[in-house]
């Protein structure tokens, strides 16, 4: 009898631990499983910032954290561009036109930043210039203007994974390991990833995002 109740207790405790574990971990997965992380250093990206300012007025890289900020009144990134102001880490070193590619990073957006794209997959079939934009509006992360991917992202680090399956023409967005969006891509012949701040509609005076552990990965 004792051993019967003993087994029952162990069974019950194991079950309880499993329930606790699942409620903590949720359904989060590692979206990078099956991908290879590619070399990433300054030779793979350049900083786009208002053309009339030195880089250190709008970008810093301290203790592994890239900080990008821009004012809604700033100039575009080139004298001839008529796009809105941006400070972006442009990963031109990994252009792609086929295969399955992934961008992973930890991102942080301070309170007040709004009306801005913080991550893009550049390249699409005209007239579209991008296959994906992740924006911030009033503290929510959105796919372009909608839908909302997650609310209340201000002032906390979150893990962003974006997968572009060019062959299947699909994009997927994961926040903290949870799949938040799956969409058709917007075609186009060449793509690369960008992150930072790129002014959109109804922007705050100052827009800022921070980035660390940036990786570009490719499916094996």
Ligand X SMILES: *[C@@H]1O[C@H](CO)[C@@H](O)[C@H](O)[C@H]1NC(C)=O
Tokens of 121: 């997959």
Tokens 């299947």 correspond to what residue? 168
- Closer to ligand X at the Cβ: 45 or 108? 45
CB of 213 to ligand X, least distance (A): 16
Residue 39 or 79 with smaller CB distance to ligand X: 39
- Map 88-114 to HEC letters: EEECCCCCECCCEEEEEEEEEECCCCC
- Binding to ligand X (CB under 6 A): which residues in 178-217? none
Shortest distance in whole angstroms from residue 61 CB to ligand X: 13
φ, ψ for residue 161, nearest 5 deg:
-125, 130
The DSSP secondary-structure symbol of 39 reads P
Min dist CB 93 to ligand X, Å, is 9
For the chain, state the CA radius of gyration: 20
Query: Binding residue for ligand X (CB under 6 A) from 2, 3, 23, 43?
Result: 43
Q: Give the side-chain half-sphere CA count within 13 A for 197.
A: 33
Q: How far apart are CA 163 and CA 30, in angstroms?
A: 12
Interaction residues for ligand X, span 74-93 (CB under 6 A)? none
Cα 131 from chain centroid? 13
Q: Please, which residue, 42 or 156, has the CB nearer to ligand X?
A: 42
State yes or no: residue 126 binds ligand X (CB under 6 A).
no
42: contact with ligand X by CB under 6 A:
yes
Q: How far is the CB of 43 from ligand X (least distance, A)?
A: 4
Q: Which of 2, 3, 23, 41 binds ligand X (CB under 6 A)?
A: 41
Q: Which residue has the tokens 């209340």?
A: 152
Report which residue's Cβ sits closest to ligand X.
Answer: 39
Please give the residue ranges that form the binding site for ligand X (CB under 6 A): 39, 41-43
């Amino acid at each position: 009898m004792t051993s019967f109740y003993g087994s029952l207790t162990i069974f019950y405790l194991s079950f309880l631990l499993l329930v606790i574990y699942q409620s903590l971990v949720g359904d989060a997965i590692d979206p990078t499983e099956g991908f290879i992380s590619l070399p990433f250093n300054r030779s793979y990206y350049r900083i786009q910032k208002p053309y009339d300012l030195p880089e250190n007025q709008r970008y810093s890289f301290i203790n592994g954290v890239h900080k990008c900020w821009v004012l809604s009144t700033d100039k575009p990134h080139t004298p001839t561009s008529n796009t809105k102001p941006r400070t972006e880490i442009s990963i031109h070193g990994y252009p792609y036109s086929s295969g399955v590619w992934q961008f992973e990073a930890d991102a942080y957006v301070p309170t007040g930043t709004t009306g801005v794209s913080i991550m893009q997959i550049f390249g699409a079939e005209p007239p579209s210039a991008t296959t994906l934009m992740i924006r911030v509006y009033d503290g929510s992360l959105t796919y372009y203007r909608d839908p909302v991917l997650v609310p209340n992202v201000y002032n906390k680090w979150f893990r962003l994974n974006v997968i572009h399956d060019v062959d299947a023409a699909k994009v997927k967005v994961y926040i903290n390991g949870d799949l938040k969006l799956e969409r058709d891509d917007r075609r186009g012949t060449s793509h690369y990833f960008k992150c930072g701040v790129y002014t959109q509609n109804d922007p705050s005076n100052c827009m800022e995002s921070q980035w660390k552990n940036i990786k570009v990965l490719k499916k094996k």
